Amino acid sequence: MLRSALSPRSIPPVLIIALVGLPVLVAIWAGVTAGGGATWEHILANRLVPYTLTTIIVLAISAIIMLGLAVPAAWLTSLYEFPGRRLFSWALILPLAMPGYVMAYAWADLMGVAGPLQATLRDLTGWSARDYWFPNLFSAPGLAFVLASTLFPYVYITARAAFSMQSLATLEAARSLGTPPLGLFWKVGLPVALPTILGGVSLALMEAAADYGAADFLGVQTLGVGIVRSWTSFGEPNTAARLALVLIFIASAFLLAARVFQGQRGSQQTSNRWLTPRRVPLPRVWGIAATGLCGLILLICFFAPVSRLAWLAVETRASAQDLWPLVRTTILLGLMGTTGAFLAALVFTLSTKRSALLRLGARGVAAAGYAAPGVVLGLGALFILKVTGQALSGTIAIAFLVWIYISRFTSAGVEPLQATLDRLPKSLDDATRSLGSHGLNQFVRVDLPLLTPGAIAAGLILFVEILKELPATLMLRPFGWDTLAVRAHAYATDERLAQATLPSLLIVLAGLAPVILLSWRLGRTERN
């Protein structure tokens, strides 16, 4: 194993591992070795505990909301037939197309004092704004609601897979013993699926911990907001680096938890009838209730915010004329980042398949980059620029920004490629080598055609993830290189939501393609 890891063929993946992992290591090193100072002493005494507690509170409430949204919907669409089940089974993944900051913009307008919800309430009751209580979105629970609304599909996907793969014999035996539907869920379905569901929750919370745009817009003082403000407002890189250590620790804890839970698949099933549970038609009343529940989730988490943004764009006659430079910049940065991250993922996937040691290192580093929030990786890049004495401008800034995209999102490209590779016969490599095909020839003629489905999925996912990335782009972009995400955030923080609608809608529209592709692939897997 060690000899194969030290062969000349291992040089490309080792270099890519170093490329992907360096920003994370630099951010950690800077946080550990950073000196003190007046600002850090102030943060330590007054802000560190509130930053950390607020972040943990937001994540805890987000987890509760995500479980409440995802698990009932996954249980219903997996094991029961009711009106609209086929539609909801894939449409409930659509909120993944919305970044958290876009959801925050939409719901801030919907729930504002002058927004349609409160205006309708006052029209119906005759009350004034002082006569009633209304939920405050600009709070930790409000931020948790926003993040959970966009990230619960992670939990829904894993829960649906877990419920769909349970033993048909076990479920039918429980039904034959008179177990009611709620008892079937609490006593049979949920205990078996719980490890997988908690793995999905951990991954979703890792994404929630990386948020900056929604928290900054809603004025919630999380660690991500504190890091950016320490650098940009106070000019204190050491303080930002130390705060980044706490955020890295939280994100890494969720990544580790996800790995642990994914390794615990629940009770082992011995029945050979475990692949396709029989869906039971719900009685008419309960079927309508299931349709209403799934429809309400989809309305709150996708159609209501998207419709509000579209209405604002039409009502204010928002002009797209100024957006074309932003679209060009966004597409250009997205293509450069996607190309780099895809090539890195391809090198990881192909060059490490003969070395378990390299594969472990590559996937570990890629996962660490994905777990590190964009604000932390951007901070690492800024420290590298500071040490090397380079200015954050022009080609250097673009190169560093693309580098951070590669470090942040290579893991998102590795997973589809690795999943495709794992489905191929283990004897394929031996067969191709016996026919005299190896090296570049084997890659072009054998590996690449077989990896095409995973490569298409990886490319789409990478492009949209980079398209939505806000904090790293905000920190590293050179002058004149604003993206749709940066401009939408700037408009929204200046309380110009009308101008933020079109860039936000374009981001959502671009995100729909890979989400629909993911839904289609999940549907095919379920049918098979």
Q: Average the pLDDT over 311-325 and give the result.
A: 78
Q: DSSP letters of 330-354?
A: HHHHHHHHHHHHHHHHHHHHHHTTT
| pTM score of the predicted model | 0.83
Token pair listed for 102: 């876009």
Whether residues 308 and 329 fall in one domain: no
Q: Are 80 and 192 in contact (CB under 8 A)?
A: no
Does residue 272 surpass a pLDDT of 50? no
Whether residues 98 and 131 fall in one domain: yes
Whether residues 350 and 449 fall in one domain: yes
- Read off the CATH number of the domain in which 436 is found: 1.10.3720.10
Q: What is the pLDDT of residues 178-204, one digit of tens each?
A: 666 666 776 666 777 788 888 888 888
Buried-state track 426-449, b at ≥16 Cβ within 10 A, e below 16: eeebeebeeeebeeeebeeebbee
- Expressed as residue numbers, the domain containing 527 is 1-30+318-528
Binning the chain into helix, strand and coil, the percentages to the nearest 5 are 80, 0, 20
Q: What is the pLDDT of residues 375-404, one digit of tens each?
A: 888 888 888 888 887 777 788 889 999 999
Q: Average the pLDDT over 17-34 and give the result.
A: 82
Whether residues 60 and 25 fall in one domain: no
Whether residues 298 and 407 fall in one domain: no
Token pair listed for 353: 């398949």
Whether residues 460 and 362 fall in one domain: yes
- Bridge partners (DSSP) of residue 80 are 280
Does residue 139 surpass a pLDDT of 90? yes
Whether residues 109 and 236 fall in one domain: yes
Q: DSSP letters of 374-392?
A: HHHHHHHHHHHHHHHT--S
How many structural domains does the chain have? 2
Whether residues 257 and 374 fall in one domain: no
Does residue 458 surpass a pLDDT of 80? no
Q: Look-up: residue for tokens 């909120």?
A: 95
Q: Band of the pLDDT at 305, cuts 50, 70, 90?
A: very high
- CA pair distance 436, 441, nearest whole angstrom: 9
Q: Band of the pLDDT at 290, cuts 50, 70, 90?
A: very high
